[in-house]
Structure 1
């Protein structure tokens, strides 16, 4: 995650997700639609891992009446979020830090996109519990991140597919070869089955898969 404090890497951030995450813009749209099933036009939404501001902008444009609280540990990425939001910034409050700095809510919904794969299992569970505690009963939580088989053969296969997609989308081949080595060796990714179990262990209910793109999975679930 050190790259999120590198000004040059931050400046190029917006290029990465579009090229590396299958259907990235549609993922944001699906997240907004899933939130809107239960969040009314004047709802309050928590966005964890909001640095860069891409989903904040997508949500603010989708529903101008939503109030958004965005949380991210990187000051540089929050700066990028402010620039990305532009005039939409009036809908958003930004907070530097982890889930612990987020307002207590209660929120009408929450999202965490392309973030939780950075957290080890126990910290991931603690974060999920903290999100759930900030939600109104029955509020939706939309989450998506790297989640793929963890046996050696399955991991290698899906990481190769992830790299092939990114290279076909314009990412440099050498960069992606390094990326999948780093992801395979250092990213504390879990299998989809383990991730679904963590969501339930955190107290969420009705866990449902809504998105799958090579090494990425996305779920919608609800506070009790």
Structure 2
């Protein structure tokens, strides 16, 4: 379904967004397919048999879907999202997979799981959480991981020195992908005080403060970054 969402005053991940979410991401995230492919290829290197794979902020389940297809016979899955519409979409997507549990609720109500996960994904999700809570959430994710487990973390960021240029290029990309000027500005206004990106180094600092001693950026395009952190 094509993204023609008319956002309200404050952005919501509602049923309408859930229905067109795939198209929205493909047209709104630069180098989207490469990010997805790299997240999967990296993540598979760290999956341990008989452990959980967790998607923290699962949306409609697209990020974790290739892991479910590959590891459904050796691993269980826990998917968490605080949007009832997104959680319902994930439940529908994985309704025939008994090893996939989907919970609608906040991350802090479901984590940590104490050394039971070998892989945790957070793809474009913590950026919607109040900044005051993010360190505690990343620390909870660290505690949830078994030794040798990995955290795949993808976020929108604020560029250190050329943020205006990165944003300008980002909006040019959205125009090329068919979004009108009105759509771009409406979504920007709707996301104010809902999406709060941080500088890349601040995200790295939170990962290290949580206890991760192996942290590296595996992907960046314009004002979006992906990190892998290993316990």
TM bucket (normalised to shorter chain) is 0.7 to 0.9
- 8 A Cα contact 1:112 1:143, kept in partner: yes
Match of 1:222 in 2: 230
Equivalent pairs counted in the alignment come to 219
CA apart distance, 1:185: 6.6
Gaps of 5+ in 1: none
Query: Counterpart in 2 of 1:143?
Result: 153
Q: What SS does the aligned partner of 2:147 have?
A: coil
Using the TM superposition, name which of 30-39 and 96-105 deviates more. 96-105
Q: Which residue in 2 is equivalent to 1:129?
A: 139
Relative to its length, the structure with more helix (as a share) is: 1
Matches within 5 A, 1:70-219: 70-87=79-96, 89-102=97-110, 104-105=113-114, 106-149=116-159, 154-181=162-189, 187-219=195-227
C-alpha RMSD of the superposition:
2.2
Deviations 1:44-86 (A, max 9, x none): 2111001211112222124333321101001111111122335
Question: Are 1:145 and 1:218, in contact at CA under 8 Å, matched by a contact in 2?
Answer: yes
Cα-to-partner distance string for 1:91-145 (whole Å, 9 max, x where unaligned): 3101111222326152111110011111233211111011111111221110001
Question: What stretches of structure 1 move > 4 A for 4+ residues in a row?
Answer: 181-186
Aligned partner (choices 59, 69, 75) of residue 61 of structure 1: 69
- Secondary structure of 1:196 counterpart: helix
TM-score for the superposition, normalised by structure 2: 0.85
Structure 1 residue 205: deviation in Å?
1.7
**Is 1:40 aligned to 2:48, yes or no?**
yes
User: What secondary structure is seen at the aligned counterpart in 2 of 1:51?
Assistant: coil
In the alignment, what sits opposite 1:30?
A: 38
Q: Is the 8 A contact 1:95 1:101 kept in 2?
A: no
> TM-score, with normalisation over the residues of structure 1?
0.87
Measure, in 2, the Cα distance between the counterparts of 1:2 and 1:85. 26
Q: Secondary structure at the match of 1:54?
A: coil
